Structure 1
Amino acid sequence: MVQSLNFNAIFGIFSVFKKPQLAVPHIIIDDIRDIKFDLLKRKGIKALAFDKDNTLTTPYASEIYPPFKNAWQECKKQFGSENIIIISNSAGTADDSDFQQAKKIEDNLDVPVLRHKSKKPGGGSELISHFARYPPETIVVIGDRLLTDIVFGNLNGMATIFTKRIITDRGDNKIASIVRQMEYQLLSLLQTCGIKPPRHPLLSD
């Protein structure tokens, strides 16, 4: 799948200039195996929104990365497939002809893929509409990109989890790989400056 230019990411950069805390995640982990899904549930989290590439799968793949299978099963056990969604900047967007990739992912991962017009960090209203039964603060956004996934979640009052260890660069979008390295440097700078993430009512501790 060829991924079109994400103009919303440029908006994300300007948002971070104005509010640097938008690029700081509430929780930083290596990968989804470190997530304590039962603890999130006890904290009052109701729904999870996952990025796909390098968070759940290798780039542009439709199957869960094999070492993540147990964690993925635990996630679905704790929250139920109906309270989990994948929001990708490739599958489920206008880049995904006839949503063929989204349908394939849904078959393999057994959770829905959000159909959305605006790429992250845009598209917040579409995710909120999908989980209309839950307040935004009870939704967690989980992903490997600061300027898309983390800014997206923080802009919309959600909790954010950053998976800092990617699965692989192989097959990934070249521009995304370059920007990712810049994002790591940005996060390090913000942490050095003592910038904290936006306060979250459920994950303040």
Structure 2
Amino acid sequence: MPYLNISATLNLLRSIKNPSLICPHYTISTFDQLSIPLSSAFRTPDGQEPDIRAVVLDKDNCFAVPHELTVYKEYESTFTRLRAAYPGDRLLIVSNSSGTWEDRDYREAAHLERTLGIKVLRHHSTKKPGCWPEVFEHLKKSDAGVTRPDQVAVVGDRLFTDVVMANMMGSWAVWVKEGVRPASGNLMGRGEHWVAQRLFERGWRAPTPSSRLL
């Protein structure tokens, strides 16, 4: 039985007050459409490419089938190129399954690190989006060279967790709109698509990434 994501529920109220938090800076249908390096997908207010030094990567329905611990076969080439572009500490997996309290003894996190060669954040107390301070603190202490939120891009398939986390942190948000399994196949996915369409129709856009924590 899945656990309630209290962090997402509480921050949903914050997003209702400020809908721009739900808006991505860049939208792709599936992970294999990701622009690498990610800086090429964005522009700063003065028209320049941002200095993206690290990428935070969701797992379930982003680069992997939900609850599986391997890269989806059709995305292997893109995943390999992403890992080459952001080696070592510059690529971090932040999942709401692997690396959380639901991951007993962090076995899934350890397995992913062994097989993929990428660090998985342990965030046992708070799930996305509320774990963003842990994410940023980890990146600052790593060898990624991150000193500001706008040097980070977050890639994930969920508006209310991945995109909101990126915007709360002051980073760049990439929304994988469909994922491995089409969003139309589940109620939450359809709901997020409906919300996104309404927000864009009303002129809402993602906030400008920040050079300091909000």
CA deviation after TM superposition for structure 1 residue 108, in Å: 2.1
Q: Look up the SS of the partner of 2:56 in the other structure.
A: strand
One-letter code of the match for 1:8? Answer: S
Aligned match of 2:44? none
Please list, as runs of the form range in 1=range in 2, the aligned pairs for 1:170-181 lying within 5 A after superposition: 177-181=186-190
Aligned match of 2:19? 20
Q: Look up the SS of the partner of 2:97 in the other structure.
A: coil
CA 187–197 in structure 1, closer or farther in 2 if over 3 Å, else same: same
Q: Look up the SS of the partner of 2:119 in the other structure.
A: coil
One-letter code of the match for 1:48? Answer: V
CA deviation after TM superposition for structure 1 residue 89, in Å: 0.5
Give a deviation string over 1:66-123, Cα, whole Å, max 9, x none.
1111101110111113210110111101111100011111122220110002101110
Aligned match of 1:101? 108
CA 127–102 in structure 1, closer or farther in 2 if over 3 Å, else same: same
Contact 1:57 1:167 in 2 (8 A): yes
Aligned match of 2:10? 11
Structure 2: which 5+ residue stretches go unaligned?
A: 41-48
Aligned match of 1:59? 66
CA deviation after TM superposition for structure 1 residue 201, in Å: 6.3
One-letter code of the match for 1:185? Answer: W
Query: Are residues 1:87 and 2:94 paired?
Result: yes
One-letter code of the match for 1:166? Answer: G
Q: Following TM superposition, where does structure 1 have runs of at least 4 consecutive aligned residues deviating by more than 3 angstroms? A: none
Structure 1: which 5+ residue stretches go unaligned?
A: none
One-letter code of the match for 1:164? Answer: K
Tell which deviates more after alignment, 153-162 or 99-108: 99-108
Aligned match of 2:135? 127
Q: Percent identity, aligned pairs only? A: 28
Tell which deviates more after alignment, 2-11 or 77-86: 2-11
CA distance in 2, matches of 1:182, 1:98: 33
Aligned match of 2:50? 43
Aligned match of 1:183? 192
CA distance in 1, matches of 2:37, 2:25: 17
Q: Look up the SS of the partner of 1:88 in the other structure.
A: coil
Aligned match of 2:207? 198
Q: Please report the TM-score for the alignment, with normalisation by the length of structure 1.
A: 0.90
Q: Look up the SS of the partner of 2:37 in the other structure.
A: helix
Give a deviation string over 1:96-154, Cα, whole Å, max 9, x none.
11000111111222201100021011101110111114111110010000001100110
CA distance in 2, matches of 1:57, 1:107: 16
CA distance in 2, matches of 1:127, 1:50: 11
State the Cα RMSD in Å: 1.9
Contact 2:89 2:139 in 1 (8 A): no
One-letter code of the match for 2:105? Answer: D
One-letter code of the match for 1:25? Answer: P
The number of residues matched between the two structures is 196
One-letter code of the match for 1:111? Answer: I
CA distance in 1, matches of 2:69, 2:7: 24
